Amino acid sequence: MNEELQKYQELAKTYLAKKDRVNYYETSSYSDFTDENVGMLVELSDEEVSKIRDLKARYDKDFVNHLGEVFDDEDIISDMFYTEERLDIDLDFVYHQYHFTLSEVNGDQVSSRQVLIQLSDEEYAKLLAWHLYDSHLVINTLFYRDENLARRIMREAMRYKCDDDAPLLSHPFVIVMDEALADADQIRQDNSLTKSSGFVGLYF
């Protein structure tokens, strides 16, 4: 990355440190179908994370059998895992959900729905940095600037939907990065930044 993009990424990290968000952590369990560990994300508060860390310190891998000390509702505990063979909750890596709009074009008709895309802070900070670097950034442009990040967002948009009954896409689509656009505008305002075209001075 060039120095300008690195500066934007640091501004994004500072902004995210103050943004009010919900924390998601990955749980893993044994799957009889795939014969391997499979994971899902669960929402945990800072207080719950602290209590689970204490359970891990006291009971090591057996901590999952003591989650009743953290959660009152047994259904919450069972929902965290695919099977009864509970294995782990990774508390060292946090994800957050962000709002995007997924639009599908079918002839003259356009149907849109909101999707929640789960990204790590590093991924989202990079996305904000790209928005700050290029005020006109769209998912197609991001594909050429940062292919891995663009593909990650596209995979997430296909997998996580607010409406579970929404059909899979069968026509051309576009992903609008609503929350990232709003956050980038707020960072510009907070730091008195002017909008950039993103066409000058980018080298890898």
| Residue 166 or residue 116, greater confidence | 116
- 3-state DSSP of 25-86: EEEEEEECCCCEEEEEEEECCHHHHHHHHHHHHHHHHHHHHHHHHCCCCHHHHHHCCCCCCE
Residues 129 and 9 sit within 8 Å (Cβ to Cβ): yes
Q: What is the pLDDT of residue 54?
A: 95
Residue 138, beta-bridge partner list: none
Token look-up 């997430």 returns: 156
> Are 89 and 28 members of one domain?
yes
* Claim to verify: residue 149 and residue 60 sit in the same structural domain: no
- Establish how many alpha carbons lie within 13 A of residue 68's alpha carbon, considering only the half-sphere containing its beta carbon: 3
Residue where a domain stops, chosen among 73, 95, 117: 95
Q: What's the average model confidence in pLDDT over 134-152?
A: 92
What does the pLDDT average to over 9-31?
87
Q: What is the mean pLDDT of residues 118-147?
A: 93
Number of neighbouring beta carbons within 10 Å of residue 46? 8
Under 8 Å between Cβ of 133 and 198: yes
User: Of 54, 73, 95, at which residue does a domain stop?
Assistant: 95
DSSP code per residue over 9-21: HHHHHHHHHHS--
Domain co-membership, 122 together with 179: yes
- Residue 99's nearest CA partner among 167, 166, 176 is 176
Residue 117 lies in a domain: yes
Q: How far is 145 from 197, CA to CA, in rounded Å?
A: 13
Of 131 and 199, the one with more pLDDT: 131
For residue 40, pLDDT beyond 80:
no
pLDDT value of position 128: 97
Residue 202 has pLDDT above 50, yes or no: no
Do 178 and 160 share a structural domain? yes
Q: Which of 50, 73, 95 is the last residue of a domain?
A: 95
Contact 16, 125 (CB under 8 A): yes
Domain presence at residue 149: yes
Beta bridge partners of 118: 97
196 located within any domain:
no
How many domains in the chain? 2
Same domain, 183 and 134: yes
Query: Is the overall model pTM greater than 0.85, yes or no?
Result: no
User: Is there a domain that residue 39 lies in?
Assistant: yes
Do 104 and 71 reside in the same domain of the chain? no
pLDDT tens digits along 107-129: 888 888 888 898 999 999 999 99
Residues 121 and 178 both lie in one domain: yes
On whether both 68 and 169 belong to a single domain, the answer is: no
pLDDT at 203 > cutoff 70: no
The letter for the amino acid at 185 is: D
For residue 45, give both structure tokens: 């508060």
Whether 120 and 68 map to the same domain: the answer is no
Tokens found for residue 130: 């790209």
For residue 202, is it within any domain? no
Task: For residue 69, give its domain range.
Answer: 24-95
Q: How far apart are CA 86 and CA 71, in angstroms?
A: 15
Q: How far apart are CA 165 and CA 167, in angstroms?
A: 6
Answer whether residue 75 shows pLDDT above 50. yes
Can you tell me the mean pLDDT for 145-163? 80
